Structures are given as structure tokens and as C-alpha cells.
Structure 1
């Protein structure tokens, strides 16, 4: 029984010390509310519509042209903003095509939902 009391006491001491390490936020601080921000894709990202059409900077392009243009600019990390209703297999095919065109990494830009 004494061993159990010692363990509980040590846990209590640990939690008291660990809890005071992080400084509390100032009382009058108001944090930014991100739910009212307008969402925009990164300027170097290509948008993939539901039907598979690729748009870069608002103009339709082919996957090869997008890859060639971004790689010529020195960006070997390419970004895609797919439509929610784009079939997953089509997205995988587009990513494979970008990798074969020379992209070292393809990032999918998605919306983070707050729950």
C-alpha cells in the first residue's frame, strides 16, 4: 500500500511541475479566428476540376506543360488542388504523370475541417 501511495505522490509532483512549465496566455489576448478567412490555393498550385481539367493560374494547361513550366521555374515540388468530386484513380494517375515528368514530390492541397 505504501508503494502505491509513493507512486501517486510522485505522479502528483510530476504533474505540478510539468503544468507550470508552459506560461499561460495573457488575460486580455484575443486569438485570430480562422473560420472567417477566405481560402485560396497557393499561387504555384494547379487546380484539377471534377472532369480532370487542369488549370494553372486560371488557364487550362496539360499536365506535361504544368510540370515543364514549374520545373523550369526551379520548383521540383508540385502542388495539386483537386476538386472534392474528382475520382481518386484520376488523381493517382495525375500524380504519377507529374512524378514521371520530373517532380521530386507532389503535394495535394486539401481543406482542413474544424470539428
Structure 2
């Protein structure tokens, strides 16, 4: 009786590589950078020297995306650009077609007459509900 033998080839064991701890740190730093880039672009730019109006009520809602800003001199801004009367009318026409609501960011030094005049222009442009965006006063 003949015996047949086959050689058995065993794989050479490779030493286990240790997980690199710097890889996790790189991932965390990358995610943090990504978060900061996204968070910085979410808020539309405001005019220079803009100071938020304060309120003591925390009720209400509104998105500042696509909202107007009224500065201390009564000028109207949209996404960092000052709007003239014609540009405001064009904006109101396009936004009134989408919704009858508008969010307005108000500087604390804005004169009430400027705010009232803008509210009248918005009403004439088809806006029925205006939400004023303010910050909560610290209560001190």
C-alpha cells in the first residue's frame, strides 16, 4: 500500500498591528473643522456694528435664513447687501409669492419710525406676519 503525502503550508503569522491613536484624533479634528465651517455659514451676514435688540419674552419662532435686517440708520439689509427701494420691492414680490410671513432682525438702536415705515412697506408688499428676531436680555 502506497502512502501519498501532501505538504501542508501554514501561513506565516504576521504580528498584530497596533491601532494608531493619532487616526482617531485626526478624525475628531476634521469633524470639528467641518462643523465650524458649516456653523459659520448658516447665519447670514449682518451689517457692521449691528447690535441685537433685546427682549424678555422667549416666545415666538422664525428662521433668520433669508430674513431682512434693519440697522440703526434705517437701512435694510439682506444677506450682507444693502437693499434700495427697488431691490426691496423686488424682494417683497418674490417672497410674497412664496409666503406671507417674513422674519426681520432689528438693531437695538433702530428708530421706531423706521421700523413702522418698513412694516407699512412690508404690508403693502403682501407680507401679513412679521417676526422680529431679538436676543434674550440677561435680566440684570
Shorter-chain TM-score category?
A: 0.5 to 0.7
How many corresponding residue pairs?
76
In 2, the alpha carbon distance for the partners of 1:43 and 1:50 equals 21
TM-score by length of 1: 0.58
Residues 53-112 of structure 1 show CA distances to partners (whole Å, capped at 9, x for unaligned) of: 11111111133233123224x121011111111101110110111011101211111111
Corresponding residue to 2:83 among 47, 53, 61: 61
Q: Which runs of 4+ in 1 moved over 2 A?
A: none
**Higher CA-based Rg:** 2
Corresponding residue to 2:67 among 45, 63, 81: 45
TM-score by length of 2: 0.48
Unpaired runs of 5+ in structure 2?
1-39, 45-63
Matching residue of 1:77? 101
> Aligned to 2:131, what secondary structure does the other structure show?
strand
Structure showing greater relative contact order (alpha-carbon pairs closer than 8 Å, 6 or more residues apart): 2
What's the C-alpha RMSD, in Å, of the aligned pairs?
Answer: 2.0
In 2, the alpha carbon distance for the partners of 1:68 and 1:112 equals 32
